[in-house]
Structure 1
Amino acid sequence: MAKPDIIIDGRKKDLGGFQVARVLPFAKKRMVGPFVFFDEMGPAQFAPGNGIDVRPHPHIGLATVTYLFEGAMHHADSLGVSQEILPGAVNLMIAGSGITHSERTDPEVRARGFSLHGIQTWIALPEAREEDMASFEHHAADTLPVFVEGGATIRLILGSAFGHTAPATTLSPIIYFHAEMAPGAELLLPEGHDELAAYLVSGDAGLGGVALQPGQMAAIDGGTATLTTRKGARVMVLGGAVIGKRFIEWNFVSSSKERLEKAKEDWRASAAGGWTGTPFTLPPGENEYIPLPGDDLPEPPAPSKDCPTT
């Protein structure tokens, strides 16, 4: 039975009442299977009148997955999609050759105050699919497979596991699920994946006999391992096939550094061109945007801080 090859601590940053823990990429472990980015958002409590306002920003070469335990977020993108995400549902945005999106709190949620807690991940696309047309999928909580295995209630987010298959599109072999582990549960993780990792959100858990603290990810290369808990735990399990080295700059992911430079120039040109007939456009109804870091483009007015997870 495999033991973890590495334990990664989430690096926390307080954004003024809103905490984000960055787990991937890590200096000694850039990816787990195709997962190139993993953030835990919150838990955070927003007083009435406050919320999240992540202004429109671009992506290429990746798929983003937003999954909430608590709260709500509103996604809008340059495809014209406007979608609220609620706990247990899945928002999958395949950026491909390029997309722009924003993430905000709806006015009615903002007015009453709310809690927010969830996970955002980026999945690197296979090299042959990096320039696919952008697309978006929303899968409500009641459409995801939910089942009990090894004393854990599992909600399957992506891929196939334990005889079940999630409805979201996958472009390479992948596994991603949320496990609520009952006290004393022992969950043998599925075999057949190049890499696997378990992230402990809360409670107590161990992987391959190695104890984890909340906010830690344990990764294994090949083989399988047993996930255990004494008192109960909330765990995210992720992994899949290794798809090769990826470069990351700002919100862009690619197998080519030259493609990253083109994306940066396209974002600059789109802002300078007023977002009409340009490589990137804004979501309908949006007029704000996040300039490329370090650029001299004027910062549009923004009443709230931007979350650095996207």
Structure 2
Amino acid sequence: MKEKAAELAVVSNKSFEASTAVNLHHYDISSALQTTLEFNELISIFCNKIQVTIPHNSLEYVNPEFDLAFKRGIIGRHSCSYSLKVEDQQLGELKLTRSQRFGKEELKMLESLLCCLIYPLRNATLFHQALQMAYTDPLTQTHNRTAFNDTLMREMKRANRCEQHLSLIFVDIDHFKWINDEHGHDCGDLALASVAGWVKDSVRGSDIVFRYGGEEFVILLIDTNQEAAAIIAERVRLGIESHTIAYGMAVLNITASLGISTLTGNDTMDSLIKRADSAMYKAKSLGRNRVCLG
């Protein structure tokens, strides 16, 4: 049976200030936690700082809002769990384990020290929520062009460093101008949002979907060669083709043209993008609703 997490909430700055004044150890932890806004780093710093006071063999931090599940160490028989929140804002759950039972005084001390962690976690939450908003296209709920540029640069460096494959798929909705002209921009928006959902349903969990602009999407395929990218692209194409949109009295069959490029040793961001874009236009010129390699 899963052990229910204790709930630790800080409801005011006064209670936080009172808890941090217990001893100098709190100040040491609080100072260290001001150095980062990354959840995993915050949890690691906190657990390293309390290791002498509250020895533990493993930690687990889960934050569903950001799809985080961070684990470290060897799981022990006994555990203590805390669901962290401040002013009704959920900040995730922290679980510590070890081979011996946690004593009452240790748990009391841990709960006091956890108050040092709550506000840094809230700051990290606000920071990452702002990033999500800045990197998300509001209509399609995919990542936007800014996010694509930043992510592609990072993943190209990683792929070259680790000698791994990296592929792009450009997806362009066929006859999108006709949809807007014939049925209006509300219908066009419905088509964009629908296609985005169908694309996300067709790709793997590790693939990242971006709205590149207008009616064009890009899928970033990490550690994926051209052959595997072609299989995924065909699955995406079929996924779009197999759906219809009902708008007013009209039923619309939507298709898309797709182009693929795979990272080579000489590629820049521009050259990798240009090859995928050119392959997509080749698919258009060959009759649309198909996949072409670049």
Q: TM-score, normalised by structure 1?
A: 0.22
More strand as a share of residues? 1
Greater RCO structure (CA 8 Å; 6+ sep): 1
Larger % of helix: which? 2
